[in-house]
Structure formats: C-alpha cells, structure tokens
Structure 1
Amino acid sequence: MRIAVIGPAFPYKGGGAHHTTELAHRLAAAGHDVTLESWKAQYPSFLYPGEQTIATPEGEPFPGTRHALAWYRPDGWLRTGRRLRAQDLVILVVLSPVQVPAYLGMLFGLGGRNGRGPRVVALCHNVLPHERKPYDVPLMRRLLKGADGALVHSAQQAQLARDLAPGTTVRTAVLPAHLPTPGPGAGARPGAPEGPWNRLLFFGIVRPYKGLDVLLRALARVDDVALTVAGEFWGGTDETRALISSLGLEERVELRPGYVPAAEVPGLFARADALVLPYRTATASQNVFMAYEHGVPVIATRAGTLADHVREGVDGVLCEPGDVDSLTDALRRFYAPGEPARLRAGVRPVDSEPHWSAYLEQLLTTGPLVTSGTDGEERTA
C-alpha cells in the first residue's frame, strides 16, 4: 500500500514527533511504500511559546522525510494534497486544532471524499485540547467530517469524536510506546544505598491540566520527601515558584525548566523513587511506559487511560484527579515502610510489540476500504 504520513518529525521534538517517525518506520517495515511529510514551520511562535525544534535527533529519522509544510503557506498545503493524490492512504497526525487549516487545505488538494482518491484517516492524539479555545470545536468538526475516519487513543476520545461528527468511522487503539528508551543499565544506581531516596519526579511539559499545583499542595503535607520538576513550563515559572514559596517548599522542590534531551532522561529517573502524574485530565501518557522502562514505579491519577497502565499496589499507586487529599494519601501509601522497594520490584518494561501490531491493524482498516469487484469496477466497502 502507498501511504503518506503527515505530521511532525525531527527536528521537531517531543512525543508527537517521536510517534510520527516510529509510525512511519513500522509501516515501512510492514512492507508498505511510505512517505513522511513534515513541517518546516508547524506553529506560529505566539501559539507555542517554547522551543519547537532540537539540534540532535532522538531516535532514527525516517529516510527521505520531506519538510515542505509551513503554517503560513496555504499554497503549500494545496500542492501537498495534489501531490499525494496517487497514495492509497493519507494519515493526518493531529496534535492540535492549530494544524487543522493546513489539513483542510490538503484535503481540498486531495480531491475530497469522492471514493476514488486516497483514503484519509485523522490520527488524533487529542480530539480536543485539554485547555480549549473557541475555534477548537468547529475546526475539529470540519476535519473529522472531511476525513474518511479517525483513530483515537481512548473510549472517551472516541465518543467525543462521534459527538463532533456523527457518522464518522472512529476506531480506538492503545497508544503504543514510542519514546526513546534508555541504553543498558541506564536505570542503575552504582553504589546507591538500599531503600528509598525520598525524591519524586514530575516529568514533561508543565501545563495546568497536568496538576503540578495539586502535587505541590499534597507534597507540603508529607514530610521529608523532595520533588524534581523537569520540563518546559508553558507559561513560565513565576506562578509555580510563588506557590512553592507560599507552601514553604523551597528546600524540597528542584525546578529544571526547559526541554530535557533524551540523553539526560536516565539520570533523572535514576534519582527518583517514583514518577508522579497528577493529571486533572488525560488521554494517554507515554510517561508511564517511560517510567517502567527505567524501572521506576508510578503514582498517577485515574484520569484518562492512566489507570489502565498502572497496577495499584503492584507497580504503582492510584488516586483521584484534582484531589489534594487523595494524592496526599497516595504519597503516604507509597512511602509506607518497605513499599517503595516492593513496588519497584513489581515494575516490568512494557512489551510494545502487541500494542503496535493492534495499532497498525486499526489504523489500516479505519474508514471505507476501496476494493475491486469482479468486473474491475472500484467499490467502497
């Protein structure tokens, strides 16, 4: 099958770029003729305040990736769509509704849903953002109605897509692990003492829906536990620093603002008893898989699909989203005598192969399939 994947790739950073690139590699490994179309300018800087790109690739770039798309060149959107008309399948990787105008331009260039052009699937990491703008709903509704189908990562997201665009074919698949993994021994602590290190880790971009403020308030109620916060701060660090000061946590909270290169990730996890995911809302999080790859338990809320991947009392502890009391209780349960070591012993790296196999199967069968009848005429199944 001739497949075009359209989405971010190196030099863009983060989970979306890693996933798009890994998806292209896996489709090619399955025998498909794959083209990866990426961006030279994905978002205007005022909509994405952090650094969008990195200088060194994290993982293997997909050979022959094109970087022709720009948010400010609608003519390029149309040309890309026209150039891809000969494909059998076009996959639009949706990370934000900000991408949708470009994707609608490509759909127009592809010729629309006429039954003879390529099948188009919207691969939605989030159907709608956790923190929404007035234009998000109309843009996503237009895209979902214009595509032949959508692939999402949770039942809740599937229902949201169907509500926006009734009649759209929507399939659900677990988002498989796709972030760079550590090398051998990356999680080891040479010479480290037995027992807990009394340090937790909050990792990844800091946005309000991720609940760092809830974690800080819970931490203030638990003695002798420190926290490292490593990642880009969406709106700067001033508000977080003020909260830390008001809670008297200056000596216990280490802020490491900025993107964390893959080479530095093992060192962060090597200093942590657990990764904490205090999310108010969630779709899926690669950070659970990343923690387990490093041998680290997870303390998470039951938001989204997080609870599907954390086994309460086996390799982590669960609590309710947005609830300081519940998270405080989870921290205390985690640090009960002997618990950090017992939960660490229960951690196992996730086998991503079954997830990827199911993911590709769902992706390749999303939307109407064009087949040939006995008379040679194309028909839509």
Structure 2
Amino acid sequence: MRILLWYWGRRGGGAQFTLGLAQALARRPGVALRLSISRQGELLDRFRKLSVATDIVDTYRDLPGFATGLLRLPGLTRQLQRSAAEADVVVSGMTHVWTPLVAPALARAGRAFVPVVHDAAPHPGDFAWAWDWRLGRELDAARAAVALSDQVADSLARRRPALPLIRMRLPALLAPGAAPAPPSAPPPPGLRLLFFGRFRHYKGLDLLRDAFRLLHRAHPEVTLRVVGEGDAEACAPGLGALPGLRLEPRWVAEDEIPALLAEADAVVLPYREASQSGIVPQALAMGVPVVAMPVGGLTEQLRPGAGGLLAEAVTPAALAAALARLTVPAELARLRAEAREAGRAEADWDGQAEALLQGLSRVLG
C-alpha cells in the first residue's frame, strides 16, 4: 500500500503522533511511505532519519509568517496533489489550520483522504469559532476517518453515519530511548504528583487546585508539580500560592517528557472533558500510575487493572480521595505494577499501525 502521511503542524501531540505512526509504517513490509511535513516542525530531524521519501514544505512560525504562508498555499496544495497522485491514500496525522483549505482539493482530484480525528467536538472553554466548518470540510472530503477512542467514534458516527470509521488506540508518544521506571526502586518520602500539558479551562486546573488543598491538609508531605504552557492563574486563580505546589508555566519539549514522568510517583488529570489523552499512555509506558476524572475517553484508557484510578465524581473532594489512596505504600506499589504491565501494550505502535492498515484495506477495497 502506498501511503502519503501528511502533517504540517510544528509541535505538540500532532507532531509526536505523526512521527510515531511514520516510524511504525516505515517498518511495515508492503508499505511504501511518503511524508509531507513542515520545514518549521520541531521534529523535522527525526522525520528525516526515517529514510523515506519526504516533501518538506515551508509553513510558518508566527502570525506574520501565517499571513505570508497563505500566499503560498495554492502552490503547496498543488504539490500535495502531485504527491497524492502517486499514493493509494493520504492520511492526515492531525488537523492543521490549513487542512480544511487543502483537503477538498484532494477529494476533487479523486484522491482518497483519511484524517485521524483526535477530537470530534471543541473542548469546553476553548476557542471554537469555525470548528464545525473545519471538521465538516475535512469529513466531506474524507473517504474514511480514524478515531482514537470510542467517544470520538460515536460522535463521528452520529455526524456522518455513512462515513466508514477506522479504530486505532492512541499509543505512547514517547521520545526514542525512553524506558519504564525501575520497578525495584523504593519511593522517596512524600508522594510526588505531576500535572503537565497546556493550561486550558477544560483541563480542570481549578478542580485540581481545590483537590490538592484538601489533600495537602490531610497529607502535608505530598507535593504537586504543575508544568505547562499557558496562563495557569486565568484557569485557577491562586493555584501557584498553594503550599507544596510548584508551578512551572513553560512549554514542555518532547525530549523532556520521559525525565519529567520519571520524577513523579503519579500523574493527575483533573479534566472536565476528554476525547482521549496522550499523557495516559505516555505515563503508563514509563510505569507511572495515572489518577483522572471519570470523563470521556479517559474511562476507556483507565479501565480497572490498567494502572490508574478514576475519581468517583468530577468534584475536588472525589479527586482528593482518589489521590489519597496513593499515599498508602501498598496501593501505590500495586498501581505501579499495573502501570508497568499495561505500559507494554501502550507502547505498541506496530499493533496500531496494523489496525490502521487493515482499516485502510477495507475502505480502499
């Protein structure tokens, strides 16, 4: 099968997902892989190491670059169409701001276009202008769509009942060389909790603030590290002033993620809503348990025995109670063992690449 894997974004989960998928597809016998990626992408050097045919296009780094980049978009669209003419299918690793402008041209040219849909609806509190227009344009141009959770698959099925769906699981987005935490190392005194990712309202930083306040009163030895890009105070006023909490407002580069996880005893996801989380498989692949709210795709990723805990309800008290269970050494040791076991499957990119290929084969006939 000849696959053109397309992603013009610069960084973050979309770039990591596309790289992991490209690495797995490049290993598959019978797959002729070609890439279309951004010259401004932070993972460009890693894509180049794959030794597959690659179209490197100039996109943009900032707002002025975006404006001038729009002038190049017709030429970039024609370039993508030429590459697509030599492929059986164009797979979009994740939507990009230009994807809805380019994808219809692929459909008009008769090219099979299959987007990986990470979110089927805007997150609460996120900027959602033109969301339906963007997703609608992509789905109208698509021969099929890939969903990474049952929640997203159900939403897409309601929106486009006739559109074939391909189910993949989101594997761990880990940097090369990352390894699980040593199973025999005794935990240091005091539970070390970690939240990392972009600071968004739907991620429940205010719920985490209130939950940690309750937890720290009962267990003052517990610490929480909050690392990510954005305005934490806008999401949760007073968060950075809590005792035992270390706030680091900054972008977390991919290479730093394994070390960040290795220094934590557990990752906490206080989200109000989630299609799925790339952080869950990352943490489990490192042998680090996850505590999360019982919402969306998180309930699929953290089933019993999978190395995590779900709070009983989406409230600070319920989250604090779930986190308090980790202060019991035997409970933490049990969850660590479960995380290491579940993490083996979470790192299986080859299995998920096979699921994609089987789905594409059905769609393409």
Q: Give the alignment's TM-score, normalised by structure 1.
A: 0.79
User: What is the CA RMSD across the aligned residues, in angstroms?
Assistant: 3.0
Tell me how far 1:102 sits from its aligned partner: 3.1
Structure 2 residue 148 is matched with structure 1 residue 160: no
From 223, 228, 241, the counterpart of 1:226: 223
CA distance in 2, matches of 1:111, 1:172: 22
Determine the structure 1 residue equivalent to 2:137: 142
CA distance in 1, matches of 2:262, 2:249: 18
Say if 1:179 and 1:286, in contact at 8 Å, map to a contact too. no
Check whether the contact 2:13–2:173 (CA below 8 A) recurs between aligned residues: yes
Match of 1:37 in 2: 36
Alignment of 1:123-142 (within 5 A): 123-130=116-123, 131-142=126-137
| Partners of 1:188 and 1:170 in 2: CA distance | 39
After TM superposition, give the deviation of residue 61 of structure 1 in Å: 4.3
Cα distance change, pair 331–358 in 1 and its aligned pair in 2 (3 A): same
Aligned to 1:91, the other structure's residue is in SS state: strand
Which has a greater percent of helix? 2
Q: C-alpha distance in 1, partners of 2:189/2:303?
A: 20
Q: Is 1:287 the counterpart of 2:285 in the alignment? A: no
SS at match of 2:57: strand
Aligned to 1:49: none
Kindly indicate whether residue 202 of structure 2 is the aligned counterpart of residue 206 of structure 1.
no
CA gap of 1:252–1:39, structure 2 versus 1, over 3 A, is same
**By how many angstroms is 1:355 displaced?**
3.7
1:298-341 C-alpha deviation (Å, 9 max, x unpaired): 11122222233324477221115642222122112222353223
Describe how 1:219-258 pairs up with structure 2 within 5 A: 219-223=212-216, 224=220, 225-233=222-230, 236-239=231-234, 242-244=237-239, 249=242, 251-258=243-250
Which ranges in structure 1 are unaligned for 5 or more consecutive residues?
A: 42-52, 370-381
Deviates more, 1:53-62 or 1:260-269: 53-62
2:355 to 355, 359, 370: 359
Q: Which residue of 1 aligns with 2:54?
A: 65
- Residues 57 and 330 (structure 1), Cα distance of their counterparts in 2 relative to 1, 3 Å cut: farther
1:285 CA displacement? 1.7
What are the within-5 Å matches in structure 2 for residues 1-381 of structure 1?
A: 1-8=1-8, 12-30=10-28, 31-40=30-39, 53-54=41-42, 61-63=49-51, 64-68=53-57, 70=59, 72=70, 73-83=72-82, 84-96=84-96, 98-104=97-103, 107-108=104-105, 110=106, 112=108, 117-130=110-123, 131-180=126-175, 182-183=177-178, 187-188=181-182, 194=187, 196-223=189-216, 224=220, 225-233=222-230, 236-239=231-234, 242-244=237-239, 249=242, 251-312=243-304, 315-320=307-312, 322-336=314-328, 338-348=330-340, 349-351=343-345, 352-353=347-348, 355-365=351-361, 367-369=363-365
Tell me, what secondary structure is at the counterpart of 2:291? strand
C-alpha distance in 1 between matches for 2:163 and 2:236: 45
Q: How far off is 1:19 after superposition?
A: 1.5
**Cα distance change on mapping 1:76 and 1:61 into 2, 3 Å:** farther
Question: Counterpart of 2:344 in 1: which secondary structure?
Answer: coil
Q: What is the deviation of 1:36?
A: 0.5
Return the alpha-carbon distance in structure 1 between the equivalents of residues 361 and 183 of structure 2. 45
Provide the rounded CA distance (Å) in 2 between the counterparts of 1:212 and 1:368: 43
> Which has more radius of gyration?
1
